[in-house]
Amino acid sequence: MQKRNLGNSNLAVSALGLGCMGMSFSYGPPKDRREMTALLRTAVERGITFFDTAEVYGPFTNETLVGEALAPFRKQVVVATKFGFKLDPQGEARWIGLDSRPEHIKQAVEGSLKRLKVEVIDLLYQHRVDPNVPIEEVAGAVKDLIQAGKVKHFGLSEAGVSTIRRAHAVQPVTALQSEYSLWTRTPEKEILPVLEELGIGFVPYSPLGRGFLTGKMDENTKFDPGDFRGNLPRFTPEALKANQALIDLLGAIGKRKQATPAQIALAWLLAQKPWIVPIPGTTKQPRLEENIGAVAVALTPGDLREIDDAASKITVQGARYPEKLEQMTGR
């Protein structure tokens, strides 16, 4: 497995990471713990060293799973987690708002350290920008945690350009995590140039469009009641049908390259910048192997031009999120 540095930092990780959310949260019922432990350990054996979790996934249960599964490999891997959601005090498995007050950040980190079974968090992201707390205060709180030896690197998620600059001025930002793929190209216009300028790495989540870019969905796809994709505008039958043009494009390139649509989608992302590290999530061993195979797929400048030309003629139907969640991005 190739390694990449996240921006100008000294944080070197595998070129492809593993998003762990779906093992416990959002994509239907939590998956079998033993199977997910085996999957996480297989990922390490296959060269993946970068794992992504968050306090809110579960809540809490995903960090516990990742911490226990990766405990034997602690010196080999980089684990990223996130703070910033206010969780239901009644113990309900849901979030009820945002909370990035410095005292809450410090409480969240203590909990994450215990669940992850570590003495220091490798990469700590603010999960979503809290409009009620100046980003300078957030960055200052994380800076204190870095100085206290409880955190190594600071990250932001779905932050806008002004927030990134202001945070970076207080505590250097190692990585930004936001959605980016062939069907969500929003970061290209403003975000990527700023990250390049400031030397910040980029970690695209949902690099396979929450499964759509694998080519395994169509307008007849049905989602389990606990699968949040059933509530997303981009996953209505009409949108799924309209967006099949992207799958046709990936399939055509894949046929030439002897690769699957998912592998082409990931290879395209990897080819954009050397400091981009996608984190596709999966709960299945064959999909893990397929995703890892994308690192070996070489797209030529001609291939990339062809993909961009064809993709520019496709208008993706449907918003990423319902309005309430969409408002939490790009702040």
Residues with catalytic roles: 57
- Rounded to an integer, what distance in angstroms lies between the CA atom of residue 160 and that of residue 53? 22
SS3 assignment, position 30? coil
Any bridge partners for residue 318, and if so which? none
For helices 161-170 and 135-147, the axis angle rounded to 10 degrees is: 40
Residue 189's CB: how many other CB atoms inside 10 A? 9
For residues 196-232, one letter each, b for 16 or more C-beta atoms within 10 angstroms of the residue's C-beta and e for the rest, the string is eebbbbbbbbbbbbbbbbbbebeeeeeeeeebbbeeb
In which region does residue 58 sit, left (phi positive, over 0), alpha (psi from -120 to 50) or beta (all else)?
A: left
At residue 81, φ and ψ (nearest 5 deg) are: -135, 180
Residue with tokens 């030309």: 309
Terminal-residue alpha carbon distance, the chain: 35
